[in-house]
A and B are shown apart, each in its own frame.
Chain A
Amino acid sequence: MKMNRRDFLKLTGTGTILGLAGLGLFERVTEEAIAAQFSKDAKALNAKRWAMIVDLRKFKTEEDYRRIINACHSVHNVPDFGNPKDEIKWLWTDTYEHSFPGQEHEFMPEWLEKKPIPLLCNHCANPPCVRVCPVKATFKSPDGITQQDYHRCIGCRFCMAACPYGARSFNWRDPRPFIKKTNNEFPTRTKGVVEKCNFCTERLAKGLKPACVEESNGALIFGDLMDPDSEVRQVLRKDFTIRRKAELGTQPSVFYIIGGSENV
């Protein structure tokens, strides 16, 4: 087929126009369902950066730990596989030496060596888990909570490797048969996703404080770190607090009051 320059230009021009029109049509078909309106509940608790203070002085008995862990794990359908290899942790405990490595020394009081420290996701302002997630399943929400979208998680476990606090757990097995009593208001997770504490974002949206805080009898203090009048800021002004591995630059939002002889 012979074609002169003029015909060739005409043909490519028409082709381009048709292509663009098709693209416009495609976008029309695939656009959002409706320009919907979303808003927040009037009762919702709002903050710029949610934070927590763990007052170790107020944890006296085993029951004090059990109560907050149960509260968290039962509202969020956290399974109990009964073996540490598969363990799913949202809120758990460990020794002082493991929680604050480098802070321990051979002359520290015996009670502190033995005392379990309540641990949870630190909801870092500079979270390494968010940086490494290849699918943006883990993200930082505007209220400072490090959240995870289980719809997106591909189970690569980069975040688990990145988190210096061990705050993330992987579902090696289907968790459903291992949930003692299912809370039908909250989803479970599925095999192959990583999960963690969500600072009870679903409760904050309804105007409720986190489940562990509610059950802690004042041992856990929760509030907005960016509000100078909030309860957490008032306590931070008054008491000496430490954070886990703050030297790594993750800027954790969970603070610990270790206290002294009143712990004995």
Chain B
Amino acid sequence: MKRYVYIGIVAFIVIVTYPFWSAGKAKKPEPKLDTPEIQKLVEKKCVEPKEFMKREHMKLLNQWRDAALRDGTRVYVNSEGKEFTVSLQNTCMKCHSNKKKFCDECHNYAGVKPYCWDCHIAPKEEEGQI
């Protein structure tokens, strides 16, 4: 009798974890940084270090939203003392004009659907570019 219980537990674990091990290894996307604006930069740096931006950009964007809209403070002073205009459309996307390569690829990979672009206007990209 106990045997059936163990088989049941194993079956349960297999079924529950099925999506995790069956998906295989999707290729991890590498966000592209070779836009004309970024090439023009002498010092190729985002508002904060790359690692921080990779991990925390969503929190930073929320902070930016609240600072600009709620507090009316539209200048961001970064950890190096450099100043930036707080704007997704006019600051972030001016450099990262390759939204499809830079934003979408990772978001699709991670299965997240941020609603930024329902209102914010994405930079114009050539058709056919993924």
Contacts and interface: CB of A to CB of B under 8 A. Distances in A.
Interface centre among B69, B89, B90 (most CB of A within 10 A): B69
Contacts of B52: 33-34
A142 B71 CA distance: 8
Nearest to B121: A184
A201 interface: yes
B76 A40 contact: no
A7 interface: no
Nearest to A148: B69
A69 to B, nearest CB: 22
Interface residues of A, number: 29
B100 interface: no
A38 B67 contact: yes
Nearest to B55: A33
Contacts, number: 71
A38 B70 contact: no
Interface stretch (B10-18, B33-41, B58-66, B102-110): B58-66
Contact of A41 (B65, B75, B115): B75
A188 interface: yes
Interface string A180-207: 0010111111100000000001100100
Interface string B21-48: 0000000000000000000000000001
- Interface SS majority for chain B: mixed
Interface residues of B, number: 29
Nearest to A174: B118
A205 B70 CA distance: 13
A36 B63 contact: yes
Contact of A185 (B48, B71, B79, B89): B89
Nearest to B115: A190
B111 interface: no
A150 interface: yes
B36 to A, nearest CB: 16
A230 B51 CA distance: 48
Given A36-B77, A39-B75, A41-B75, 19 more contacts: A33-B60, A36-B67, A38-B71, A38-B75, A38-B77, A39-B73, A39-B77, A40-B72, A40-B73, A141-B72, A142-B72, A147-B69, A150-B119, A151-B69, A186-B89, A188-B119, A188-B121, A190-B119, A205-B74
